[in-house]
Structure 1
């Protein structure tokens, strides 16, 4: 508003001379406040200048070209911002989480291509965009797509999804049920069967709001564990997750798969490693040189029952005196896995590959160096230990093997780090960036040794096992974080923490050729309490070289960072914890509106079941304990006995010497006091019921979970 025509005229003239025009915007709700003035481009000044210099028509053309140029610049800037949000930038990732990446995109492509070509990615899940594939990789572990052309149809970049192209055997999904008259127990999984983890993820993924309770039902029904108790009606094709491979790997199509069209950074316009920020102050690794990919062989095409490239070995690591914890792990192994103990030892089975259990014993404290007689001493201690001696019986010699862990020997056996790990020897106990330094030992006199032993008997460096919550053997836990990757990379197989109990046969997990761990409860991190990796794989090479450049840190959270920063999470599948740790979400106050059975609010409930829930263990027994899950992880509690009333191995006359040592002492040969039921705990806990179930199988009083009686 102007008080006179003169002011208005002067204002318009001033506008025409300036490159900007002020725009006044009143403040809502404050009419008396001075309006906000925002400068805008003066189009009239630009038009007048262009007309005076180029003429009326050409001036308008110049203005249109300038407007188009400004629009293009704005669009490019907006697109770059969207790419930053989608791909990430070094600065962006650095603010959230310091990068651990020491490889370039070219090497990450090699890792993906090697693992896929070896059949270690039997999934149709999308491949990460940041790996920057230029064509669809061929996957021998996937069947060919149904009625799908080989050449991709071009799609808009926002809708484009890159998946591998399958040329493997066809899949036939099984309806597993017990058949009369053998319906009292569930059937063994079909040898060579495979679990489709894509289907499992569809039903069990916590990120997709799937419940553990519903997941366990799908696992039960699809695995045939609901024999004679099925109450579901209707077709259950969507719940079938176990299949057999039929036919052979097909030749790769002669027609080349079309180049992959995606909105990705290129060498010309961007840094080729854009979106993959490298670890600061560390040189990148040299370019990878990998061996030829493995030849993928379906189970039916193997010459024998076992695949030499996929050995069926369970690994477990233990430090300190052998207790009831590894004892129960081994007992559950005998009770559930297809170790063929129901047949005479001279009657081999031509159709089944028997799994083995390798129990790795660290003979001393985690930081100690084994003495030359450590192996002999280890077996002498195992023979005299009532919890360990039963597994030295000749009947178990082909399936349970005790092996001694030697840190130096094991690290020297990993080609990727054998020449470099000693640089970090004093700081190798690294857990998530928290380093526990190990000082070099200095020779002391006898008197000085006695004094230091008295002072340091409870020192962290000298602990041998966890005796209570306050005296936790932290170093052994850190060492086990590293040991699991060493063992799986050197020998292949599956690693399990010692606080794990088998709940069913793992046949179809062995059939799935991918690597896996499982989810850290509600968090999108790995928990490596269960870890499956292939021997000498490209993924293993990446993990060891990356861990070396990050201080030999193998903590599960650190492993998550390594794979996340390198876009390799798909090669180590993060399975839902419902499969191996069904109580975890519930103990953290998640899904309590529909919890699984049994209902645990704390992990301690397994050892000390609350009174209001303690009728379930005896009434339901082993069959009512997280039925459908492959294992149960009770999360430490090394100091809590499984059976408070009968805290000894109760395995009958064949192992009476071990029971006598546990009950009466080493040098006592007298008779046991009579066992009276009135002395037993009235309400038995879940831990007690499972222990007594496994022991009754070894005593010959009941069959295992699949109805097979142990034959001596």
Structure 2
């Protein structure tokens, strides 16, 4: 028999010079699993609260007896750390109401309200209408047995199928493309050329060179945008062959291919199984007949009535230098033809619609609101120049009326009065009802709220401390309403145009852009087609989610329904080139000018003021379509 103690070759306790009875007695005297702890009760001196806590000594002893001294001690130690971490995490989460973890995007409840067959019909409608001119894959989860026919792309070899056996691409039946090599011609080499009328941007190429998810740099993306559009006339020996940088093309005239698709056939459907059932009955989404994709060369006139070239902007309160700068940059960059005696018949002139909400977002316009609006614009030094007859066909001021606009959306008109209008990301601002409103009119008013600077009474943001949150929430909804009703592109008022959008208008799909580093939408730029299936989906879904049009919520709508490719999330390099730098990304290779904060747009740091590419407008994020300075004053 060896010396007293534990045998090293066994993890079980063995006692020398002892019997089985002594071993059992030793185990019997182990401490209990839980020990009582007495805590004082606040305000009660005669009694104490008795609770039971796990006995650390018993846990350690049991782990040693079961796993051995070394392994058992290690298990006990790591278990103790795990308990401390979990306790700290729960304390951090639930200790105070002021400390809340943000809701994880993937953990939010699903916003999906349609069955798979409805989602298939939405995809078919958009593709058949030419609103998906992309070779990128489509979600296999939709269950297409037959690849949808796509008039927006030229024919190519048969599309492949995904791992589940369903189609994950479309079948091109559209016109051929000729990619352009754009350069300045003699006598005009000092200035970049205007885009060719009817040219189209290939956003597949843009995504290949600019997608942040694939670790592409904004600086390199801007170089591709400049070179492909002929905006950079400088010689660059290191560039070599630029064929892969050509992203602007012309579509040939209609070749007679059947470009219309009036919905899927029965063989193209996959019946929705029980796993796609939403939990409540949702009527099938009503959709009109798909549009016919018409190349520019086959249009009877330069302007396509199905794709109007209208820029929308929403403004609340007195007109200031901010929307003035946006309109001036529009006139400076877009091909309006105002310098010509007669408009060029080959050019589709874009228009700028400035929507004015003259009072607080929650107020009801008075009957003379239109006349009052124009009277104020005439007296305003920032707005009055644009009322000159010279701009009558280009710049239009329009009164925003919430009731009229929402009643003009078929998907909303019967239900919007039963919803909260001011919902942003699930945060609802309640508006008290005016007792003097007529019976049946449920639109609220802020007229009875005390305090002129109350959040309900603010009409426009005059500074960061008097931020008009209500109007911002209203504008989140207004941009979708305007694009769905009238078509075109919405831009926030803190936007500066940097180049002609001719080729971007040629791309018929819907798009917004990326929220900096996050795979979410920023709808400061939003393009949608008039009365589209995608728009119907968004409004129907928003109704089920209390009219929440916050960009983050829109990201959930499209993600849950596998519709993200239909609302393309463009890289922010195209519209917001400084955003990544301001959040401390890509500073090892920044674009020019090198902004580390949005305020740098107004007061350039001295250390950056001498950078060669930052001199003048010509070097300001050249290649980008616009610049968004994020509401700084």
After TM superposition, the score normalised by the length of structure 2 is: 0.79
Partner SS, residue 177 of structure 2: strand
- Residue among 309, 313, 318 paired with 2:310: 313
Query: Using a 3 Å threshold, how does the CA distance of structure 1 residues 260 and 548 change in structure 2: closer, same or farther?
Result: closer
**Alignment correspondent of 2:116:** 105
Distance change (3 Å), C-alpha of 1:143 and 1:203: same
Q: Give the superposition deviation at 1:230.
A: 4.8
Work out whether 1:118 is the aligned partner of 2:111: no
- CA shift for structure 1 position 361: 0.3
Match of 1:223 among 229, 235, 250: 229
- Please tell me the root mean square deviation across aligned C-alpha atoms, in Å: 2.9
Q: How does 1:215-254 map to 2 (within 5 A)?
A: 215-228=221-234, 230=236, 232-252=238-258
- CA separation of 1:28/1:524 partners in 2, compared to 1, >3 Å: closer, same or farther? same
2:623 equivalent in structure 1: 628
Match of 1:663 in 2: none
1:205 pairs with 2:211: yes
Instruction: Please tell me whether the aligned partners of residues 473 and 550 of structure 2 are also in contact (alpha carbons under 8 angstroms).
Output: yes
Counterpart of 2:294? 297
Partner of 2:508: 513
- Give, in whole Å, the separation in 1 of the partners of 2:548 and 2:354: 23
What is the CA distance between 1:231 and its match in structure 2? Answer: 5.1
2: distance between equivalents of 1:182 and 1:231? 22
Give the 5 Å matches for 1:367-378.
367-378=362-373
Write the distance in 1 (CA, Å) between the matches of 2:216 and 2:306.
34
Q: How many residues align?
A: 528
- Asked if the contact 1:135/1:260 (under 8 Å) is kept, the reply is no
Contact 1:194/1:511 (<8 A) preserved: yes
Match of 2:148 in 1: 137
Q: Partner residue of 2:393? A: 398
Offset from partner CA, 1:56-79 (integer Å, 9 cap, x none): xxxxxxxxxxxxxxxxxxxxxxxx
Confirm or deny: 8 A CA contact 1:114 1:293 kept in the other structure: yes
| 8 Å Cα contact 1:317-1:498 kept in structure 2 | yes
* 1: CA distance, partners of 2:218 / 2:71: 61
8 Å Cα contact 2:321/2:382 also seen in 1? yes
Query: Which runs of no fewer than 5 residues in structure 1 stay unpaired?
Result: 2-25, 34-92, 254-258, 445-451, 641-712
Residue 434 in 1 paired to residue 430 in 2? no
1:272 maps to: 273
1:145-195 Cα shifts (integer Å, max 9, x gaps): 1xx2x5x67x78279862100011111111011011210100000001000
Contact 1:429 1:479 in 2 (8 A): yes
CA distance in 2, matches of 1:32, 1:306: 78
Tell me which of 528, 548, 564 is aligned to 1:569: 564
User: Offset at 1:510?
Assistant: 0.3
Q: Provide the rounded CA distance (Å) in 1 between the counterparts of 2:436 and 2:352.
A: 39
Match of 1:540 in 2: 535
Distance 1:546 1:299 in 2: 34
**3-state SS of paired residue (2:616):** helix
Whether the 8 Å CA contact 2:613–2:619 is kept in 1: the answer is: no
The ranges of structure 1 where at least 4 consecutive aligned residues each deviate by more than 3 angstroms after the TM superposition are 26-33, 158-161, 228-233, 259-262, 452-455, 615-619
Any idea what SS the aligned residue of 1:110 has? Answer: helix
* Structure-to-structure mapping, 1:608-687, within 5 angstroms: 608-616=603-611, 620-637=615-632, 640=633
1:324 and 2:325 matched: no
Give the corresponding residue for 1:382.
377
Matches within 5 A, 1:350-365: 350-365=345-360
Query: Residues of 2 paired with 1:586 and 1:241: CA distance?
Result: 26
Give yes or no for contact 1:101–1:277 (8 Å, CA) kept in 2: no
Q: Give deviations 1:554-612, integer Å, cap 9, x for gaps.
A: 00011001111111001000000000000000000000000100011110111121122
Residues 257-296 of structure 1: per-residue CA shift (max 9 Å, x gap): xx9999x9x76xxx7153x573x6xx34201231111010
**Cα deviations across residues 636-676 of structure 1 (Å, max 9, x unaligned)?**
02xx3xxxxxxxxxxxxxxxxxxxxxxxxxxxxxxxxxxxx
